[in-house]
Amino acid sequence: MKVKVSILALCACTMLSSCSFLEGLFGKKAVPAPPAPTTTVVIKNHMDKVKSEALKIKNANIQQVVDENGYDAIKVIFDSGILFATAQSTLSENSQESLRDLADVLKNNSICDVAILGYTDNMPFRGLTPEQSLEKNKELSTDRASAVAAYLQSLGVSIDQIKNIQGLGAENPVASNDTEEGRRQNRRVEIFLYASQAMIDAANAGTLY
């Protein structure tokens, strides 16, 4: 009789152990799904893809930056010497291939808004006062930004996509104007691709990829 009890007890323990094991496999509560990515992360992931396209633009310096709303944006920088002759605002023939590359990126990413900013160095113009030179540089940078915008539109970029065209002259230098190399860097056109309201809405809705 004692042997039978022991065997039954052993069987009971084995069954309990099996139940415990199965419960461990199948009886756990479902692991909650990870939270949905934030709008900022979704836009960053999208802009990573835009950057990979922009890196194919010839003669351009491509940077990933953060816009005033805290979202990732892409900055495309062209040395003015690539686009224009000295003190001129007419696009050179050599610039057109680079701008065609840029136009393709903009058209492929029409959900991005665009800003085009022109800059110069602070060198004075012969025969002009410092104040007149300052104004002349601002005018030149505006004309150059406008020339880039007009050419992009001629290539099929929607005028509605380009939200800002501005010349800032010698403002916001990126290098010292005391050297020729620094002045060369300061003579530039910057194009920003940043999150439009449509992109933000799509990110919030989970439809931006």
Residue 65, domain member (yes or no): yes
SS3 assignment, position 28: coil
Q: Does residue 135 fall inside a structural domain?
A: yes
Q: What is the pLDDT of residue 209?
A: 87
Does residue 168 fall inside a structural domain? yes
pLDDT of residue 35: 56
Task: Report how far residue 125's alpha carbon sits from residue 140's, in angstroms, rounded to the nearest whole number.
Answer: 11
Q: 81: domain CATH number?
A: 3.30.1330.60
Structural domain of residue 111, as residue ranges?
39-205
In a domain, 115, yes or no: yes
Tokens of 115: 């800003």
Query: Is residue 12 one of the residues assigned to a domain?
Result: no
Return the closest-CA partner of residue 114 out of 70, 172, 153. 153
Q: How many domains does the chain have?
A: 1
Flag whether 31 is in a domain: no
pTM over 0.95: no
Interval 81-107: pLDDT, tens = 999 998 899 999 889 999 999 999 999
- 11 within domain boundaries: no
Measured from the Cβ of residue 72, the count of other Cβ atoms closer than 10 Å reads 21
Give me the pLDDT at residue 30, please: 57
Average pLDDT per run of 10 along the chain, which is 209 residues long?
43 43 46 72 97 97 96 97 92 93 98 98 92 95 98 97 97 95 95 97 93
Query: Is the residue at 3 inside a domain?
Result: no
